[in-house]
Amino acid sequence: MSSDDTPNQPSRPARRGFLKAGAALGASLGAGAATSGLAQAAEAKHHAMSADPMLAVEPFYGEHQGGIVTPQQAHTYVAAFDLTTISRDDVINLLRKWTESAARMSQAHPAAALDYSGDDHPAADSGDVLGLGPAGLTVTFGFGPGLFTSQDKDRYGLAHKRPAALVDLPRFNGDQLIAQKTGGDLFVQACANDAQVAFHAVRQLARQGYGILTMRWGQAGFLSGPRAQTPRNLMGFKDGTNNPPTTDPKAMNQFVWATAADAPWMQGGTYTVVRRIRITLEHWDQMELGFQEQVFGRHKYSGAPLGQKKEFDNVDLNAQDKDGNPQIPENSHVRLSNRASNNGAQILRRSYSYNDSTDFYIERWPPWRQETEYDAGLIFIAHQGDPRTGFIPINERLAKFDMMNQFTTHVGSAVFACPPGAKAGSFIGAELFSA
């Protein structure tokens, strides 16, 4: 057995190049008509296997990092780290290790080759996902403002390479940011079809940084929808309907991928905003269905814009009801965030729900209520070519006027420059660190 082999791993799904479950299914439907019955049966068997979300494999190396336009996996673990080292080489070596380990884990291998030569040292991998399969794991890395300058210090000689688009986010109306859930020098987003696979990836990478960095915050998230349908967030509405199409490279170039104009090393990367948005689910659940729909400007069950029938019907901000009032209310979430209200700006949202147990709440005055409330909501994640024309103006409008604000509070925030994908043999961010 080579040192790469994981004990109890029945087969090596990663090496067989399984397709994404959804893509495989689509392909089989298209190809079916032209093939013989036998071939069809074989194909169906193959696709039934590849449709197992635990066997899905996403490429790690490539022009862009995974986990950005990748169809959304069911789970995420996102984390941000503060660098404590003063050595530029430490950072480079860490990124090399991270790149290699992320590539290995996305193939269902341990983070580093397991060494069976003895039990007198810690194992290179915690071992908790041995045999589980790749589960469509993607690992996405990002650089926060603190990598470039921290407390006015140019720690790693990178200050002059900070892209203008990597702005410190302004304070928005209603922000209640908690320092321990905000910011970070380095960002790791692991997405997978299994919660343990996602957490495992971040945990191994964090461990490789012992002595070089500390973990600032970590957050698990989930989001499941029926296959090939838009998933619903905890408010019960379909979330992601009116995203720019990830299958259209033109739209992605226009809205999501950064250009070289600002910082050549970011070409093919993206800027990512993360907001931890707490939702008072107890309050929301008491609201009439019709009011909930007014808040979003969409029908709850079909997901259609108000007054329309189907989820993907056009959002027509000029549509009026029989009394001449706007069909999509003035302060609804969809009207305020739509491109027509934001100079054509669009962002790619790839958010997850979170559910972090409960808090206990006691009033010290009559009627002395004692309640347990959920700490749950949305880990809002949005990718864009430039936050100054994307998230910032859109959220400025939402923070002031969105009816949804009665139910939501932004408690965490971060912004990162996620560089382009790495070529095999190189590492994430290599262009930033090249002289």
- Residue 233 binds to ligand HEM (criterion: CB under 6 A): yes
Range in contact with ligand HEM (rule: CB under 6 A) among 97-105, 142-150, 389-397, 421-429: 389-397
Q: How far apart are CA 350 and CA 69, in angstroms?
A: 9
What element of type H or E holds 32?
A: helix 21-32
- Residue 75 binds to ligand HEM (criterion: CB under 6 A): no
Indicate which single residue of 65, 70, 189, 242 sits in contact with ligand HEM (rule: CB under 6 A): 242
- Residue 395 binds to ligand HEM (criterion: CB under 6 A): yes
Q: Which is nearer to ligand HEM, 130 or 376 (CB)?
A: 376
Q: Which is nearer to ligand HEM, 134 or 142 (CB)?
A: 142
Q: Which is nearer to ligand HEM, 207 or 388 (CB)?
A: 388
264 HSE (CA, 13 A, CB side): 6
CB of 174 closer than 8 Å to CB of 409: yes
Indicate which single residue of 77, 380, 427, 433 sits in contact with ligand HEM (rule: CB under 6 A): 380
Cα distances (angstroms) measured from residue 427 to each of 200, 226, 435: 21, 36, 15
- Residue 391 binds to ligand HEM (criterion: CB under 6 A): yes
Q: Which is nearer to ligand HEM, 109 or 333 (CB)?
A: 333
- Residue 256 binds to ligand HEM (criterion: CB under 6 A): no
- Residue 415 binds to ligand HEM (criterion: CB under 6 A): no
- Residue 255 binds to ligand HEM (criterion: CB under 6 A): no
Burial of 173 (0-12, 13-18, 19+ CB in 10 A): middle
CB of 99 closer than 8 Å to CB of 422: yes
Q: Quick one: three-class SS letters along 161-204?
A: HCCCCCCCCCCCCCCCCCHHHCCCCEEEEEEECCHHHHHHHHHH
- Residue 239 binds to ligand HEM (criterion: CB under 6 A): yes
- Residue 107 binds to ligand HEM (criterion: CB under 6 A): no
Q: Which residues of 194-233 are buried (b: 16+ CB within 10 A; e: fewer)?
A: bbebbbbbbbbbbebbeebbeebbbbbbbbeeeeeebbbb
Backbone φ and ψ for 269, nearest 5 degrees, come out as -95, -165
Indicate which single residue of 73, 106, 294, 408 sits in contact with ligand HEM (rule: CB under 6 A): 408
Token pair for residue 254?
A: 């226009």
Q: Which residues of 142-153 are buried (b: 16+ CB within 10 A; e: fewer)?
A: bbbbbbbebeee
Indicate which single residue of 93, 173, 241, 280 sits in contact with ligand HEM (rule: CB under 6 A): 241
Range in contact with ligand HEM (rule: CB under 6 A) among 127-135, 161-169, 236-244, 246-254: 236-244
Q: Which is nearer to ligand HEM, 83 or 315 (CB)?
A: 315
Q: Please give the residue ranges that form the binding site for ligand HEM (CB under 6 A).
A: 233, 235, 237-242, 275, 277, 279, 296, 298, 315, 333-334, 337-339, 347, 349, 377-378, 380, 391, 394-395, 398, 408
